[in-house]
């Protein structure tokens, strides 16, 4: 009987272990990043462990607002300047209209009492959502750890795949 019990509970555990939610945040578009954090907060409310893996343009979501003095090569400096620094600088993927559309969307969200992106990020972190910065993208784009907000974890593709293996749902955003 002891053996039977062990065997029959194993699959149950397997199902439990694969109950998390993970996301690759590849995009730096405000609308897509908002969607990612709304999902993350919703899942956290349901006590689902959430891992967000920020790669390529998505890395910019984790950058500090203020420029950080770091020694860089010419190309890395250029990339750093051209890419948005943190959540306040992101733009809509459509209807940006030179920034006017993005400003209007932010104002409407505030009027309707929807959290702003910085608020959604804070709330996700308070709820234990893990934010992981892709180290390979950081290397390629010349972004250093000091330039990213505190409390971020660092990992490569294996770290993403581990999270995906524990997840029922994995999204590429």
Where on the chain is the footprint of its own copies (CB under 8 A)?
1, 4-5, 7-12, 14-15, 18-19, 21, 24, 26, 28, 31-32, 35, 38-39, 41-43, 45-46, 48, 55-57, 75, 79, 82-83, 93-95, 104-105, 107-109, 112, 114, 136, 139-140, 142, 156-158, 160-161, 164-165, 167-173
Considering beta carbons, is residue 42 or 99 the nearer one to its own copies?
A: 42
Considering beta carbons, is residue 142 or 149 the nearer one to its own copies?
A: 142
- Which element (helix H / strand E) includes 78? helix 74-82
How many other CB atoms are found less than 10 A from the CB of residue 73? Answer: 9
Q: Using the Cα atoms of residue 119, residue 157, residue 165 and residue 146 in order, give the sign of their dihedral.
A: negative
Considering beta carbons, is residue 69 or 111 the nearer one to its own copies?
A: 111
**Contact between residue 172 and residue 22 where contact means Cβ atoms under 8 Å apart:** no
Residues found in the chain: 173
Considering beta carbons, is residue 108 or 150 the nearer one to its own copies?
A: 108
- Minimum CB separation of residue 67 from its own copies in Å reads 19
How many other CB atoms are found less than 10 A from the CB of residue 38? Answer: 15
Residue 53, SS3 per DSSP: strand
């Amino acid at each position: 009987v002891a053996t039977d019990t062990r065997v029959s509970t194993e699959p149950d555990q397997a199902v439990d272990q694969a109950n998390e939610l993970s996301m690759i945040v590849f995009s730096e578009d405000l609308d897509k990043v908002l969607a990612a954090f709304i999902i993350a907060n919703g899942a956290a409310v349901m006590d689902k462990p959430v891992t967000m893996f920020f790669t390529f343009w998505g890395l910019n979501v984790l950058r500090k607002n203020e420029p950080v003095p770091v020694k860089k090569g010419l190309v890395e400096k250029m990339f750093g300047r051209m890419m948005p620094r943190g959540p306040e600088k992101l733009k809509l993927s459509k209807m940006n209209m030179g920034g006017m559309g993005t400003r209007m969307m932010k104002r409407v969200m505030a009027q309707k009492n929807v959290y702003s992106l910085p608020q959604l990020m804070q709330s996700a972190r308070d709820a234990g959502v893990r934010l992981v910065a892709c180290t390979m993208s950081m290397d390629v784009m010349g972004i250093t750890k000091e330039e990213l907000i505190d409390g971020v974890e660092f990992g490569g593709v294996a770290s993403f795949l581990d999270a995906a293996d524990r997840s029922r749902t994995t999204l590429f955003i």
